[in-house]
Amino acid sequence: MATQSPPATIPNLKDKIPKLEPRRRRPAASNPLPLPETPVLPPPPDTSSHSFQIPSRRILSVKDHNLFLSSPSYTLILSFVFGLSDAVIDTPISAVKDDDCSPAIKSILSILDEAESLVQATPPDDSEGSRFGNKIFRTFLDKAKAASPSWHEKLGLTSQDAISEVETYLNQSFGNRTRIDYGSGHELNFIIWLLCLYQLQIVTKADFKALVLKVFVRYLELMRTIQSTYYLEPAGSHGVWGLDDYQFLPFLFGASQLLHHPFITPLAIHQELTLEEFGHDYMYLGQVNFVNSTKTVKGLRWHSPMLDDISSAKSWNKIEGGMRRMFVAEVLRKLPVAQHFLFGSLVPAMEGMSTESEVGVSNEEDEVEGGAIVVEHDGVKHVHTANSWGDCCGIKVPSAIAAAQAMRKNGAGETLRRIPFD
C-alpha cells in the first residue's frame, strides 16, 4: 500500500511581500521671486508752493524704464497699491457703510455717479453693428472731460493748474479715445488719480478701506457699464494679465478680502451658487462672475485658463502673494505696460528720463496703435511700437461683451454653448 504524502504546508508569505511604506511627498516647488512687501508710504508733499504740471509719458526707452524702477515714484506707487490691498484684508464690501465714509469719499462717489449718468445720456450708435469699439464712446469722453473741472472743484481743488494735472489721470481711466479700448493700464490711471488725491491730502490713510470697498468697487461698476455700452476692445492683443480682458486689481484686492476666510476656498470660483451668493461682497468672486457672464462658452478652463489654474492653489494666502508678484513683474517691471504711465509733479519722473518732445512721439491719447518707445540697434535709434507681447504687430481683438450680446440677439438665449470636450 502506497504511503500517503503529508499535506503541503501553506507558505508564509509575510516575509516575501515587500513592506508598504507611504510615498514620500515631493516638496512644493519654491517660487524664485520673493514675496513683495508693502513699502512705507511716504507722507504727502508740502504743496503750499508747489509747481504743478500736466502729466505725460516719460518711460520711452529701456533706460527710462530702469531709471523709473530705481525712483521714489516706483516705491510710491507700490506702497499705495499694496497699502490699499492691506487695508481690506478679511473685510467684505458690506463692512463699510455709507455713514462711515468721509466727505471726500462721498464726493468721489458722486463724481462716478455723474459719469455713469453721462453714459446713460450718450447711448451707442447701434447702426454700426460692429463687435469692435463704438465711436460714440468718444462723445462720452468729451462730455466727461468737459465736466471734469467742476468735479474736481467738488473735491476742494481751486487751483486750475492742480486740476489740470489731477484730472488727466481720471480722464485717462475710462479708456483710450483713439483706439476705443480699455485695459489694466487705464485701471491703474484711476488708482494714480486716487494717489494724487492722497498727495494733495484730500484723502488720508483712514480712507483706504473705503477707497477700495466703496470707490474702487463703484469704479468697477461704472467700467462694466461703459464696456457693455460701447464695446470697448481689450487693450493689448492678448491681454497683459491672462486673467481678464480688462481688469487686474479686483483679483489683488479680492484675494486680500478672502485671505483667511473660514469656508470660501479658491476652488469656490467654480461653484455658481457661491459666486451668486458672495460675489457682491468679495471682488474676486464678483469679477469671476462678471467674466463668466461676458463669455460665449461655458467653463473657466476654456475662456480663462489662468484663473482656472490659480483656483488649484491651497489657500488665498498663496493667491494673494502671487497677485503681488504679478503686479510687480507684469506691471511695473514690464516695459510694454510701464511705457503708458504718466508722470507729473505729484508722481514725478526721475531726472534723466526722456520726454515726448525729445523723442518725437505724439502723446498717448493721439497714438493710433499706442506704445511708442525708442529702441537702439547697432547704435541706430528708431521709434518702435511695442504691445504687451513685445512685438510691433498689434492685433485688434473684438469685445467679448459684444460677442456675447450678439449671440443673445441672434436667438441663442442666455445659455452659453459648451465646448465638445466638456
| pLDDT (tens place) for every residue of the chain, 422 residues total | 556 666 667 777 777 777 777 777 766 666 667 888 899 999 999 988 889 999 999 999 999 999 999 999 999 999 999 999 999 999 999 999 999 999 999 999 999 999 999 999 999 987 655 667 889 999 999 999 999 999 999 999 999 999 999 999 999 999 999 999 998 889 999 999 999 999 999 999 999 999 999 999 999 999 999 999 999 988 764 443 467 778 899 999 999 999 999 999 999 999 999 999 999 999 999 999 988 887 766 777 776 788 888 989 999 999 999 999 999 998 899 998 888 899 999 999 999 999 998 888 777 666 655 555 555 544 445 454 544 433 333 445 555 555 555 555 555 554 544 443 34
Residue 273 has which C-alpha cell? 451658487
Say how far apart CA 68 and CA 333 lie, in whole Å. Answer: 9
Say how far apart CA 144 and CA 142 lie, in whole Å. Answer: 5
Q: Is the pTM of this model over 0.95?
A: no
Q: Calculate the alpha carbon distances from 360 to 343, 356, 384 in Å.
A: 17, 6, 12
Q: What is the DSSP string of 288-355?
A: HHHHHHT-SB--HHHH-HHHHHHTTSS-HHHHHHHHHHHHIIIIIT-HHHHTT-EEBTTTBPPTT---
Give the CA radius of gyration of the chain.
26
Strand partners of residue 377: 380
Write down the residue that cell numbers 480663462 correspond to.
304
Contacts of 144 (CB under 8 A, 6+ apart): 115, 118, 171, 174
Strand partners of residue 373: 384
Residue 17 has which C-alpha cell? 511581500
Q: Is 44 exposed, middle or buried (0-12, 13-18, 19+ CB in 10 A)?
A: middle
Q: Calculate the alpha carbon distances from 373 to 182, 266, 348, 350 in Å.
A: 20, 39, 19, 17
Strands 342-343 and 56-57: antiparallel
Residue among 228, 246, 227 nearest 236 (CA): 246
Residue 55 has which C-alpha cell? 502729466
Residue among 208, 242, 114, 98 nearest 170 (CA): 114
